[in-house]
Amino acid sequence: MWGGGSVTPNDPADVDVIEVRSGGGVLSLARRLNPPDSIVTAPWIGCVEVHLGQNVGHLLIGNRRVDALQQRKLIAAWTSARSDRARPVIVALAPDGTELSRIGPHDTLDTHTWARLREEL
């Protein structure tokens, strides 16, 4: 998953606001092999690499607030139902709490990038 512009794969320096990069997931088998739990009800654990622009103060990942790190990238992880492996909405916020951009569960580009692309057309 790529979003938010084009930069070298491991360099968050040129990210405007937010980029969601590669990710993955796995079925959590913790405590699922003990009856009455079942592998059928096991949750999905997903993750993505998130790169942040210089103006981002923190992120909302679903309902969790995460401070922006100095290196401007982090791994976001979450759990969800096995049937719905979508990532949560990720919102980039300025240090004062103003929303800068967001990227939905199935989006590849954030709202800031979409707006910039519309202006360029």
Q: What are phi and psi of 22, to 5 degrees?
A: -55, 155
Residue 67 corresponds to which tokens in the numbers above?
Answer: 């401070």
pLDDT digits (tens, 9 = 90+) for 75-112: 999 988 777 778 999 999 999 999 999 999 989 899 99
pLDDT digits (tens, 9 = 90+) for 12-24: 567 889 999 888 8
Residues 6+ apart with CB under 8 A from 53: 15, 16, 17, 18, 72, 92, 100
Domain ranges for the chain, please list them.
Answer: 12-120
Work out the average pLDDT over 33-38. Answer: 63
Asked whether the predicted pLDDT for residue 26 surpasses 70, the reply is yes
Q: According to the model, what pLDDT value does residue 6 have?
A: 43
